[in-house]
Amino acid sequence: MKNGICYVIGAGECVRLPQNINEEDMVIAVDGGFQYVKNSRVDLVVGDFDSLGFVPEHPNVLRLKPEKDDTDMLVALKEGLKAGYLDFHIYGGCGGRFEHTIANIQSLAYLAQHGAKGTLRDGDTVITMLTNNVLILPSELTGYLSVFSYGEKAEGVTLKGVKYPLERATLTDNFPIGVSNEFTGQSAEISVEKGRLLILYNHAE
């Protein structure tokens, strides 16, 4: 497994790009996302190139057929997994067509299912998935934190260090009790014993 980060740049709204990319990291541009990083380091370009409109002149291009089951983004994430990465930072994965945003959120669940962590980075908002695990967020975070059941229910949900704590609660997919919690200046701990949580929080890089 690789110790670095796999940065994936999609074709959605991209108001922020990754900084301080290290040698051990990997950068994948997905279709129209190539426009955002074409003058920067890119290790692999993936897509059917319907949104970009042309096939980039790049030494590593994975050209896909337009008719396929996997989205371009999911293929890119699978390539990152195949290369040994377990930490994925996705930019340009929100905005644009709403169904693409939903598809990218589902791709976070795919990563979690395969033992990897994925985060969608939409401006100052980070979106991630937590499955039967614990997530600790640093004390310097400010603003809002929202936690939703991703599935019929998520059991044993505990929130500590936030304005509205929970203790081994059950969250369901038809009651958004976890929306708009707040950080308090101390580290926040989120845990779920059984099920998946979709987590959104503010984090300016």
- Does the pLDDT value for residue 129 go beyond 80? yes
Render pLDDT for 15-47 as a digit per residue (tens, 0 to 9).
788 888 999 999 999 999 999 998 899 999 999
d(CA 162, CA 142): 10
CATH top-level class of 130-202: mainly beta
When the candidates are 1.10.10.10, 3.40.50.150, 3.40.50.10240, 1.20.120.420, the CATH number that belongs to 6-123 is 3.40.50.10240
d(CA 169, CA 160): 12
Which residues have a Cβ under 8 Å from the Cβ of 106 and sit 6 or more positions away? none
In the block, tokens 């009651």 appear at 175
Which residues have a Cβ under 8 Å from the Cβ of 140 and sit 6 or more positions away? none
Domain ranges of the chain: 6-123, 130-202
Render pLDDT for 56-107 as a digit per residue (tens, 0 to 9).
999 999 999 888 899 999 999 999 999 999 999 999 999 878 999 999 999 9
User: DSSP of 83-123, one letter per residue?
Assistant: TT--EEEEES-BSSSHHHHHHHHHHHHHHHHTT-EEEEEET
Render pLDDT for 151-180 as a digit per residue (tens, 0 to 9).
999 999 999 999 999 999 999 999 999 999
* Tokens linked to 108: 């976070």
